[in-house]
Amino acid sequence: MPNAVPTAAMKLLVTGGAGFIGSHLVDALIDAGHEVAVIDDLSTGSQANLNPQADFHRIDITDYDATRAVFARVKPHVVCHLAAQTSVRLSMSDPIRDATVNILGSINVLRACVEHESARIVFASTCAVYAGAKYLPMDEGHPVLPESAYGASKHAVEGYIRMFAHANGLKYKILRYGNVFGPRQNPEGEAGVISIFTRQFVEGIQPTIFGDGSKTRDYVYVADIVRGNVLAIGEAGDNETYNLAGGTEITDLQVFEAVGKAIGSEVEPRYAPVRPGEVERSSLDYARAKANLGWSPEVSLEDGIREVVAHYRETH
Ligand SMILES: NC(=O)c1ccc[n+]([C@@H]2O[C@H](COP(=O)([O-])OP(=O)(O)OC[C@H]3O[C@@H](n4cnc5c(N)ncnc54)[C@H](O)[C@@H]3O)[C@@H](O)[C@H]2O)c1
C-alpha cells in the first residue's frame, strides 16, 4: 500500500540541513507546511543554502549536550539524519574523524531521539555499504562489504539504528542512496562527477576521466532523494532498509557526454589511470522502495544535468 505523503504540519528536525541534499529537503518540508529545525555545524554545508524559515542551530552532533538541548527545545516528531562526514578519501586518511562524526555523532542523535520521544528517524545511508557488486542491480539483500571507512561507518550506524529500534521502540527507515547529483553539490573536493565535469566544462578546463570511461555508477537526482525522504517520514514501510537510486548503470563516458551536450561543448575528455579503491560497476534495485513507499525515480539523467548546468551558470 503506497504511503500517503504526510499532509498535517509536523515538527521535523533535519541534521545536515545546510548541506547539499539536506538543504533541498528542508526547502521541500517547509514548502509542505512543516515546522523545520536544522542542526548543522557548517563544516561542509553552507548557510547560503539554508532556507531562512528553518529554525537553525549551528552545533556539532558529536556534542551530546548541545544536541539534546536542541531536541529538548524542538521536540521533533521525526528526525531526518543527514549530518555526516561524507568524504570517502578523508574517511581513509582519518578513520577516527570519520567514525567520530558518523558513528558517535549518530549515536548522540539516536539517544536524543529516545530521550525526547521522537517517533521516527530517517537515516541517509549509502550504496558505499555494498562496494564491489556480486550481482547487478544490487538489492538490499546484497552482501554488505564496505571498502571504505565511510561505508563501514554508515553501515555501523544502520546496526545502531536497528538496535535502538529494538530496545526503545524508535521507528526508522534506512535509505541507501545511489550517487546523488543536483544543484548545490559542491564541485570542489569529493563531490559527484557531474558537478565536477560541469565546473570544468564551464571554466574551459579539459575534464579528466579516471579509467577508460566504462566504469559505472547509479545516479539519482536530488529531488527524487528528497521525495524519498518525504515519503519515509510517513508511517508506511517502517523499520526497513531501502535503496533509493536510478536503477541503471551509467558509464563515466555517458556522464561526460551528457554534461558536454547540456553545455554545448565538443571538448574531448582526458584519460588518467583509474584511482585505487574505485568500484568497477554499480547499480541498485529500488523495487522495495517502490512496493512499500510508492517511490521510484522520476528525473532523467539528462533533465537533471540540465538543472545542474543552469544552476551553475546562474551562480557563477
Ligand atoms: N551525495 C551523495 O551522493 C550521497 C550518497 C549517499 C549518501 N549520502 C549521504 O547523504 C547525507 C548528505 O550528504 P550530502 O551529499 O548532502 O553532503 P554534505 O557534506 O553537503 O552534507 C552533510 C552536512 O552535514 C553537516 N555536518 C557534517 N558534520 C557535522 C557534525 N559533526 N555536526 C553537524 N553537522 C555536520 C555538514 O556541514 C553538511 O551540511 C550524508 O549523510 C551522506 O553520507 C550522500
Task: Quick: pLDDT tens for 170-220.
Answer: 999 999 999 999 999 987 655 589 999 999 999 999 999 999 999 999 999
User: Is 101 domain-assigned?
Assistant: yes
Q: If you ran DSSP here, which 8-state letter would residue 147 be given?
A: S
Q: Are 155 and 148 in contact (CB under 8 A)?
A: no
Residue 6's region, left for phi above 0, alpha for psi from -120 to 50, else beta, is beta
pLDDT for the residue 36? 98
Residue written as grid cell 553539490: 185
Ligand 1 and 177: CB distance under 6 A: yes
> What is the distance in A from the centroid of ligand 1 to the CA of 124?
8
Ligand 1 and 19: CB distance under 6 A: yes
User: Is 292 domain-assigned?
Assistant: yes
Q: CA–CA separation, 303 vs 313, rounded Å?
A: 16
User: Residue 26: pLDDT band by 50, 70, 90 thresholds?
Assistant: very high
Q: Total structural domains in the chain?
A: 1
> What is the distance in A from the centroid of ligand 1 to the CA of 19?
6
User: Is 313 domain-assigned?
Assistant: no
> What is the distance in A from the centroid of ligand 1 to the CA of 18?
9
User: Is 213 domain-assigned?
Assistant: no
Q: Could you read off the pLDDT of 245-271 as tens digits, one per residue?
A: 999 999 999 999 999 999 999 999 999
Q: Are 17 and 25 in contact (CB under 8 A)?
A: yes
Peptide bond connecting 137 to the previous residue in cis, omega within 30 degrees of 0: yes
Cα–chain center distance at 301 = 17
Q: Could you list the residue range(s) of the whole structural domain that residue 149 is in?
A: 11-182+219-247+284-298
User: Is 20 domain-assigned?
Assistant: yes
User: Residue 124: pLDDT band by 50, 70, 90 thresholds?
Assistant: very high
Pocket test for ligand 1, best of 44, 50, 58, 68 (most atoms within 8 A of CB): 44
Closest residue by Cα to residue 99 from 44, 160, 42: 160
pLDDT for the residue 1? 37
* Percent of the residues in the chain that have a pLDDT greater than 90, as a whole number: 91
What residue's CA is closest to ligand 1, atom 20? 19
Query: Model's pTM, two decimal places?
Result: 0.96
Q: CA–CA separation, 279 vs 216, rounded Å?
A: 8
Q: CA–CA separation, 250 vs 305, rounded Å?
A: 13
DSSP letter string over 52-76? TTSEEE---TT-HHHHHHHHHHH--
User: Is 314 domain-assigned?
Assistant: no
Beta bridge partners, 166, equal none
User: Is 316 domain-assigned?
Assistant: no
pLDDT for the residue 292? 98
Pocket test for ligand 1, best of 13, 14, 15, 21 (most atoms within 8 A of CB): 21
> What is the distance in A from the centroid of ligand 1 to the CA of 22?
7
User: Is 29 domain-assigned?
Assistant: yes
Q: CA–CA separation, 38 vs 15, rounded Å?
A: 6
Ligand 1 and 220: CB distance under 6 A: no
* Percent of the residues in the chain that have a pLDDT greater than 70, as a whole number: 97
User: Residue 2: pLDDT band by 50, 70, 90 thresholds?
Assistant: very low
Alpha helices, DSSP H, located in 116-270: 149-168, 193-202, 222-233, 252-263
Ligand 1 and 148: CB distance under 6 A: no
> What is the distance in A from the centroid of ligand 1 to the CA of 267?
32
Give the domain CATH number at 75: 3.40.50.720
Query: In whole numbers, what is the pLDDT of the chain averaged over residues?
Result: 94
| Residue positions annotated with a catalytic role | 150
Q: Residues for the chain: how many in total? A: 316
Number of other residues whose CB lies within 10 A of the CB of residue 92: 15
